Amino acid sequence: MSYESPPPVSAITRINILQGQARVSAGPRVEFSTVLGSCVATCLFDPEVEVGGMNHFLLAEPGASVAAADIDEHYGVYLMEVLINEMLAHGAAKQRLRAHLYGGANLNSHFARIGTANGEFARQFLARERIAIVREDLGGTQARRVDFRPARGQVRCRIVPETMAPDERLDTRPARATGDVELF
């Protein structure tokens, strides 16, 4: 494979990947972007056919009380399958897939460690599917911005600067019904 310089930034088509989405592309000028807190994004890449994809899931798996028919795009168990199947439909081969994992932060110490659970789920899922993880940036207490160029398998992950102390990020105090409107 010959090396060619990346396209200029102005020639890049940026596609935001939101919670509950999975996208695949072989376009050399496509860049997927997402911002993650406790959510996890998986970036998959097949270097031989130069196709890649990204998903962004909110929760790993539903609880035991959720019926199989109700498993949807909020769950990693659903979006991981969607991403792999889309990759295969675009010519990727499962044995050549390489993965990057990002996110899984625990943004507030007063809440359940959802980010940790999401990261562990993604690692275990990929291990079961025999897909190698070549890079990960999981955990911690800060949000991340991830930019992924799927045709090349290139990823840039940056920490989103904190603007508040960790325990001030989410106000857990009960709301007061005063009739006033608070602008933020």
Give 59's DSSP letter: B
Nearest to 113 by CA among 140, 82, 137: 140
CB neighbour list of residue 113: distance below 8 Å, 6 or more residues apart: 106
Instruction: Say how far apart CA 183 and CA 70 lie, in whole Å.
Output: 36
Residue pair 79/58 in contact (Cβ under 8 Å)? The answer is: no
Annotation: CATH topology of 9-168 = 60s Ribosomal Protein L30; Chain: A; (3.30.1330)
For the chain, list the strands marked E by DSSP: 13-16, 21-25, 30-36, 40-46, 51-57, 98-103, 132-138, 144-149, 154-159
| Radius of gyration of the chain, Cα coordinates, nearest whole angstrom | 18
Instruction: Say how far apart CA 2 and CA 114 lie, in whole Å.
Output: 42
With 0-12 / 13-18 / 19 or more C-beta atoms within 10 angstroms meaning exposed / middle / buried, residue 154 is middle
- Show the tokens assigned to 40: 């996890």
**33 phi, psi to nearest 5 deg:** -135, 145
Helices and strands, number each (H, E), in the chain: 2, 9
Residue type (1 letter), 38: S
What does the pLDDT look like over 92-143, one tens digit per residue?
Answer: 999 999 999 999 999 877 777 899 999 999 999 999 999 999 999 999 999 9
Q: What angle do CA 115, 116, 119 make, to 5 degrees?
A: 85
pTM for the model: 0.79
**What are the boundaries of each domain within the chain?**
9-168
**85 phi, psi to nearest 5 deg:** -65, -40
Kindly give the confidence (pLDDT) of every residue in the chain, 184 residues in length, as a single tens digit, with 9 standing for 90 and above.
Answer: 445 555 565 688 999 999 999 999 998 999 999 999 999 999 999 999 999 999 999 887 665 555 555 555 777 888 999 999 999 999 999 999 999 999 999 987 777 789 999 999 999 999 999 999 999 999 999 999 999 999 999 999 999 887 544 444 444 444 444 444 444 3
